[in-house]
């Protein structure tokens, strides 16, 4: 009877919902599974599985995974009802862990036997959704190499948003000036000790933006590998006293919700790992395009809580509609953001431009919007929006002067030797170790280096 009543209530509330709000929106899904063999002996082992729900809350779940070797068998488990069919193992949540809110974890385990090898299981799925979080031993504490005294990250410390500005540890507005990587899947050799030494010491850059493409042979092809590479670059920036902007470089498709589960998985991991560092800024979606502001806002309001759960005090940059043009490139304007801001604190909005394509109308938008919204120019180019063509010197200087005047932080596309006008180095530079001499710079690189390397004069009280 009790069960019948519960069923009736469920049916009634489903009908109620449908009648009130139309078909329910598809629930967000996503998960991370961490598998650890805690002990192993002749023919037997004990393993723990930590499962983290990165999607919407669930009130019941089944975890499935595959044991790769035919001789591997689950004998007895705990904190779930366990069963095995062929190589597929199922673990169903029990009374005390059946409900998992967003970001919540359940720890399960089992004792098993094996005959040949005992490889880690593969393809974890929670309620049928593959857990794209890495399947590894729990992460060890990251190395910390606190920035040396006098460097931008040491002087300014933990940043936060104050009014429409980015403020330092003395609650005073600061402007960070620096460079963006190109896609790290393509230009890995450009981000070496030598090149980052040049960026920190010769360029006196305040920040490195780490552009981790999600598609185009990026994150989606190797989540664990790209997460590790980003973390290494965060450490390399920290060791040189630079801020690191972790850019989840969505571009095509333009709707960031396409990558919602990946974003939750990625950011829960990098935010937990880097929570104690003071040099990290999270950029959750590079350039939304072909999508409404309400869709972008909805994405932001699902990803930001995942970051905050692990790293409560970091600044988060939210991409805007129309390739982060605050909507201008889609015929809209900043007013849709002002009227309907993301419901989260300590955030800034991205504004991107390419100086040869985007001129007075875009500068007017930035000037207007800067009075109402905290803005961060997390990407801009001196050339056309294709990333190529000639440097538009006049427009670039007008932009840089405006950003300085408004104290808006920026990262220039790109600190790389790509064969395109926006790159700072001539093609082939990253095959060598010389990033310092003037002969390796392009016109864009020379202009940016001259602008970025001037004294910062950050307030210290």
Q: Which is nearer to ligand IDC, 336 or 379 (CB)?
A: 379
Smallest separation (angstroms) from ligand IDC to the CB of 377:
12
Query: Which of 34, 283, 336, 379 is flagged as catalytic?
Result: 379
Between the alpha carbon of residue 73 and those of residues 88, 130, 209, the distances in Å are: 10, 22, 46
**Cα angle 144-148-150, degrees, rounded to a multiple of 5:** 145
**C-alpha torsion angle, residues 225, 231, 235, 238 (rounded to 10):** 150
Of 231 and 286, CB closest to ligand IDC: 286
Residue with tokens 């880097």: 274
Question: Mask 341-360, x = binds ligand IDC (CB under 6 A)?
Answer: -----------x-x------
Q: Is 220 a catalytic residue?
A: no
Number of residues this chain uses to bind ligand IDC (CB under 6 A): 15
Q: In the complex, what is the shortest distance from the CB of residue 167 to ligand IDC, in angstroms, rounded to a whole number?
A: 27
Q: Given candidates 106, 233, 251, 318, which one binds ligand IDC under the rule CB under 6 A? A: 251
**Side-chain half-sphere of 177: how many Cα atoms within 13 Å?**
20
Residue 228 is a binding residue for ligand IDC (CB under 6 A): no
Which one of the listed residues 34, 238, 287, 420 is annotated catalytic? 287
136: left (phi over 0), alpha (psi -120 to 50) or beta: beta
Q: To the nearest whole angstrom, how small is the minimum distance from the Cβ of residue 233 to ligand IDC?
A: 17
Q: What angle do CA 236, 238, 239 make, to 5 degrees?
A: 65
Take residue 346 and report the two structure tokens written for it. 């300590």
Q: Is 221 in the site for ligand IDC (CB under 6 A)?
A: no
Q: How far apart are the first and last CA of the chain?
A: 69
> Which of 386, 405, 450, 454 touches ligand IDC by CB under 6 A?
386
C-alpha angle 154-156-158 in degrees, rounded to nearest 5: 95
Per CB under 6 A, contacts with ligand IDC among 185-204 are none
> How crowded is residue 456: how many other Cβ atoms within 10 Å of its Cβ?
16
Among 131, 236, 239, 385, which residue sits at the site for ligand IDC (rule: CB under 6 A)? 385
CB atoms within 10 A of CB 128: 8
Q: Does 379 bind ligand IDC (CB under 6 A)?
A: yes
Do the Cβ atoms of 424 and 444 come closer than 8 Å?
yes
Active site residue 334: no
By beta carbon distance, the residue nearest ligand IDC is: 387
Residue 232 and residue 252: Cα distance in Å, rounded?
Answer: 26
User: Which x/- pattern over 399-438 shows residues binding ligand IDC (rule: CB under 6 A)?
Assistant: --------------x----x-x-x----------------
Considering only 34, 238, 287, 392, the residue that binds ligand IDC (CB under 6 A) is 287
Catalytic machinery residues: 287, 379
Residues lying near ligand IDC in the complex (CB under 6 A): 216, 251, 286-287, 323, 352, 354, 379, 385-387, 413, 418, 420, 422
């Amino acid at each position: 009877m009790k069960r019948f009543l519960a069923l009736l209530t469920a049916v009634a509330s489903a009908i109620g919902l449908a009648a009130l709000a139309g078909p329910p929106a598809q629930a967000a899904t996503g998960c991370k599974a961490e598998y650890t063999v805690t002990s192993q002996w002749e023919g037997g082992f004990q393993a723990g599985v930590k499962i983290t729900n990165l999607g919407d809350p669930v009130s019941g779940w089944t975890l499935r995974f595959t044991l790769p070797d035919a001789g591997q068998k689950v004998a007895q488990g705990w904190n779930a009802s366990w069963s095995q069919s062929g190589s597929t193992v199922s673990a169903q949540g029990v009374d005390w862990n059946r409900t998992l809110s967003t970001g919540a974890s359940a720890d399960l385990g089992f004792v098993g036997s094996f005959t040949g090898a005992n490889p880690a299981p593969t393809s974890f799925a929670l309620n049928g959704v593959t857990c794209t979080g890495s399947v590894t031993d729990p992460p060890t504490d990251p190395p910390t190499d606190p920035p040396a005294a006098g460097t931008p990250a040491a002087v300014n410390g933990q940043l936060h948003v104050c009014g429409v500005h980015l403020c330092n540890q003395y609650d005073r507005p600061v402007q960070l000036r620096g460079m963006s990587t190109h896609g790290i899947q393509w230009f890995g050799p450009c981000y070496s000790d030598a090149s980052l030494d040049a960026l920190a010491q010769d360029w006196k850059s305040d920040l490195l933006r780490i552009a981790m493409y999600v598609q185009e042979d990026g994150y989606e092809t190797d989540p664990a590998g790209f997460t590790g590479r980003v973390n290494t670059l965060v450490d390399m920036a920290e060791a040189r006293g630079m801020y690191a902007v972790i850019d989840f470089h969505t571009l095509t498709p333009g709707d960031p919700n396409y990558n919602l589960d990946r974003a939750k998985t990625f950011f829960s991991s990098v935010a937990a790992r880097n929570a104690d560092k003071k040099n990290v800024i999270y950029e959750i979606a590079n350039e939304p395009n072909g999508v409404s502001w309400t869709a972008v806002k909805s994405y932001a309001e699902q990803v930001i809580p995942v970051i905050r759960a692990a790293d409560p005090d970091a600044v988060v940059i939210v991409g805007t509609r129309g390739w982060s043009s605050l909507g201008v490139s889609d015929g809209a304007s900043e007013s849709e953001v002002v009227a309907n801001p993301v419901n989260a604190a300590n955030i800034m909005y991205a504004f991107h431009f390419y100086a040869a394509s985007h001129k007075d109308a875009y500068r007017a938008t930035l000037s207007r919007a800067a009075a109402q919204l905290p803005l961060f120019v997390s990407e801009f180019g001196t050339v056309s929006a294709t990333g190529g063509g000639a440097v538009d010197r006049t427009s670039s200087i007008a932009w840089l002067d405006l950003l300085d005047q408004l104290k808006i932080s920026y990262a220039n596309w790109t600190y790389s030797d790509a064969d395109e006008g926006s790159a700072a180095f001539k093609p082939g530079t990253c095959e060598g170790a010389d990033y310092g001499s003037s002969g390796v710079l392009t016109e864009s690189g020379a202009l940016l280096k001259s602008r970025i390397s001037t004294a910062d004069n950050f307030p210290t009280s």
